[in-house]
Amino acid sequence: MNTTELERDFQNKIDNEIRIEPKDWMPDNYRQTLIRQISQHAHSEIVGMLPEGNWITRAPSLRRKVALLAKVQDEAGHGLYLYSATETLGIERDETIEDLNSGKAKYSSIFNYPTLTWADIGAIGWLVDGAAIMNQVPLCRCSYGPYARAMVRVCKEESFHQRQGYEIMLTLCRGSEAQKNMAQDALNRWWWPALMMFGPSDSDSPHTAQSMKWKIKRFTNDELRQKFVDITSPQADFLGISIPDDNLKWNEDEGHYDFGEPAWEEFYDVIRGNGPCNAERLNARKKAYNEGSWVREAALAYAKKKSNSENLVQVA
């Protein structure tokens, strides 16, 4: 088959909801788009451990500490499945991690904000995991098999994270005045960055149209942002705290909430590396990578020794 026929065959499969698997032919741009998106997603999970890890030693009770530890470990697991899914596209894990450490690869803008109080851990679970689920449930139907399958388990775990975050918020909102204020302050600081997680407006999103055609994305950035606002606004009402948006109001005719425009300048500034914690996050990742080099060297040396001794046994 020539390239035109291969491309037609490939798009036919996608149109007929047949998954693309690693050994199938795929256009180079499809491969590159997936490498970009899945590796950015993997980096987000790993960098996303840092803001919450900051609170493990200061969790207010043993129960909270255990749940937070489990959550942070889950994020590490998500990162590992996603790095593995990226490798199925023919790129080495070392190269992807090098791209993160050098600042070349992006990770989600949200993780460049600081976690100042315990309520931030509640707000992250409620809003950040909530936004992550909204974006990731459709990815379970992504056209690329290894990514779609990895997302099934990730979404189940994110759903638990979202609930534990909301329960922290509920406890604070039903607590003392000071605790409720803390919850409100966390919502004030995390609301807009959570909306930015969905990416730029559709009109400014260079990748959405092609990714929709390839069924990597099933919804546009704006569609998912709208769904998130529609689901989250009543949850804030139930907590008794206010979303910091004067333009947020129920639109009876449209059957959804109208809401204000995120500060896109801030979003672009953060993804250019100038957010409040970008430097801190990258330094933490680089330090962990450097300090872990002896583990990687030991594992390689062991694998080599093992394979040498197996070869000797075979020769004998």
Question: Would you tell me the crossing angle of helices 278-291 and 28-47 to the nearest 10 degrees?
Answer: 90
Looking at 57-65, 95-103, 129-137, 227-235, which segment touches ligand FAQ (CB under 6 A)? 129-137
- Residue placing its CB nearer to ligand FAQ in the complex, 20 or 196: 196
CB of 83 to ligand FAQ, least distance (A): 13
- Residue placing its CB nearer to ligand FAQ in the complex, 85 or 172: 85
48 touches ligand FAQ by CB under 6 A: yes
Residues from 68 through 87 that contact ligand FAQ (CB under 6 A): 75
Cα separation, 175 vs 144, whole angstroms:
46
Which two tokens mark 176? 């003392």
Number of residues located near ligand FAQ, criterion CB under 6 A: 28
- Residue placing its CB nearer to ligand FAQ in the complex, 144 or 257: 144
Three-state secondary structure readout of the chain: CCHHHHHHHHHHHHHCCCCECCCCCCCHHHHHHHHHHHHHHHHHHHHCHHHHHCCHHHCCCHHHHHHHHHHHHHHHHHHHHHHHHHHCCCCCHHHHHHHHHCCCCCCCHHHHCCCCCHHHHHHHHHHHHHHHHHHHCHHHHCCEHHHHHHHHHHHHHHHHHHHHHHHHHHHHHCCCHHHHHHHHHHHHHHHHHHHHCCCCCHHHCCCHHHHHHCCCCCCCHHHHHHHHHHHHHHHHHHHCCCCCCCCCEEECCCCEEECCCCCHHHHHHHHHHHCCCHHHHHHHHHHHHHHCHHHHHHHHHHHHHHHHHHHHHHHC
162 touches ligand FAQ by CB under 6 A: no
- Residue placing its CB nearer to ligand FAQ in the complex, 263 or 303: 263
Contact 233, 257 (CB under 8 A): yes
Looking at 20-28, 102-110, 182-190, 235-243, which segment touches ligand FAQ (CB under 6 A)? 102-110
39 touches ligand FAQ by CB under 6 A: no
- Residue placing its CB nearer to ligand FAQ in the complex, 50 or 180: 50
Contact 110, 197 (CB under 8 A): yes
Instruction: Tell which one of 39, 96, 109, 164 touches ligand FAQ (CB under 6 A).
Output: 109
Instruction: Tell which one of 85, 127, 128, 241 touches ligand FAQ (CB under 6 A).
Output: 128
Instruction: Tell which one of 26, 30, 34, 45 touches ligand FAQ (CB under 6 A).
Output: 45
Instruction: Tell which one of 99, 120, 129, 157 touches ligand FAQ (CB under 6 A).
Output: 129
Residues from 182 through 221 that contact ligand FAQ (CB under 6 A): 196-200, 205-208, 211, 221
- Residue placing its CB nearer to ligand FAQ in the complex, 128 or 168: 128
CB of 44 to ligand FAQ, least distance (A): 4
CB of 48 to ligand FAQ, least distance (A): 3
Interface residues toward ligand FAQ, by CB under 6 A: 36-37, 40-41, 44-45, 48, 75, 106, 108-109, 124, 128-129, 132, 135, 196-200, 205-208, 211, 221, 271
